[in-house]
Structure 1
Amino acid sequence: MNQSTEKVQNLERGERIVAERKRLKLSQPAFADAGGVKKGSQILYEKGNAPTADYLERIAAVGADVLFILTGRHEAAATTTINPVDPERLGRAIELIERGIVEGHRNPSPKAKAEMIIAAYELLDETSEAATERILRLVVG
């Protein structure tokens, strides 16, 4: 698989989206609705097309394990129970990382991107311009 195809499709990620949808006992139309997309987009995501940050944020709000979708690793149950994911903060983290990737002309692997999103999420425990700038400097390089 060449690099340009990797950007567009990741079959394992698509399989993990299907697994999360089934774990939550949702149909494709119901999961698409939860993610704020049409069924056709849901089908494409399940085939491996890259989901948007907004979609990931919305499905996290209904209980999808976004870390698992992006990396293949499940969040520890204790972590999820003690520190539930804040969908708004996760969305800000994803947007910052995507902005930094574009501005820095970077092409990180899905695992590296997920690690950046996790780090950004942790840094965004407070809303501050300084945290935003620090995250962008880390990503852009």
Structure 2
Amino acid sequence: MNFPIGARLKEERNRLGLTQEEFARLSGATRRTQTNYENDSRSPDADYLSAIAKAGADVGYLLTGVRSNKPNIQAKGLEDYPEVGAALVLDVMQFVDTWLYESELKMPPPKKAEMVKLLCKMLVRRDRERGQMSNLEENSARLGEYVDVLKTAST
């Protein structure tokens, strides 16, 4: 990710009432890494963003600069899927990035964004059919089954 979010990250940390050290501990980062993120010396990765989303940070605000009253990221095309929150989007992004890297494939960012939305919709539809929300391990297993969708999209 190549965009400055340091000031918003610091603002979000302060909104949550946490010190850099406390925020770093929640995210699994070191205090030095947290400082680098807040100074825009380094850009946060998907693991970090996922961890702070689970800790209550508004990742949508960090990424876009627009604060939402809703805890979920509402992207165009996901209006009918309120279950798609920041944590799910980040988990799917991480899965797609890892899969592309391991498969030595590349996908243009707009196509990757559409792929992430599609995979999120597929996971939510499956959860709706089952009548329950799945956990990260179940989602990871299901995403592994969707590799054919990724293969088609990456060509």
RMSD: 3.3
1:48-103 Cα offsets, whole Å, 9 max, x none, are 222122111111111011122122233342758x748374x344312134236654
Distance 1:118 1:72 in 2: 21
Q: Identify which of structures 1 and 2 has the higher relative contact order when contacts are C-alpha pairs closer than 8 Å and 6+ apart.
A: 1
| 2:20/2:34 contact within 8 Å kept | yes
Over 6 Å off, 4+ runs: none
Aligned to 1:64: 57
Q: Please, what TM-score do these two structures have when normalized by structure 1?
A: 0.66
Distance 2:31 2:115 in 1: 26
Distance 1:39 1:116 in 2: 34
CA deviation after TM superposition for structure 1 residue 41, in Å: 0.5
| 2:13/2:57 contact within 8 Å kept | yes
- Write 1 or 2 for the structure with the bigger share of helix: 1
* Higher deviation after alignment, 60-69 or 90-99: 90-99
Query: What is the correspondence of 1:74-85 to structure 2 with a 5 Å cutoff?
Result: 74-77=67-70, 83=83, 85=85
CA deviation after TM superposition for structure 1 residue 27, in Å: 0.9
Specify whether residues 101 and 130 from structure 1 end up closer, same or farther in structure 2 by C-alpha distance, changes over 3 A only. Answer: closer
Distance 2:52 2:145 in 1: 29
Specify whether residues 101 and 76 from structure 1 end up closer, same or farther in structure 2 by C-alpha distance, changes over 3 A only. Answer: farther
Q: Please, what TM-score do these two structures have when normalized by structure 2?
A: 0.61
Query: What is the correspondence of 1:1-141 to structure 2 with a 5 Å cutoff?
Result: 10-11=3-4, 13-48=5-40, 49-77=42-70, 83=83, 85=85, 87=87, 89-99=88-98, 102=101, 103-105=104-106, 108=109, 115-116=113-114, 119=117, 120-125=119-124, 126=126, 127=139, 128=142, 129-135=144-150, 137-138=152-153, 140-141=154-155
Task: Determine what percentage of the aligned residue pairs are the same residue.
Answer: 25
Q: Which runs of 5+ in 2 are unaligned?
A: 74-81, 127-138
| 2:115/2:150 contact within 8 Å kept | no
Aligned residue type for 1:21? R
Q: Which runs of 5+ in 1 are unaligned?
A: 1-6
| Count of aligned pairs between the two proteins | 127
Which structure is larger by alpha-carbon Rg, 1 or 2? 2
CA deviation after TM superposition for structure 1 residue 19, in Å: 1.7
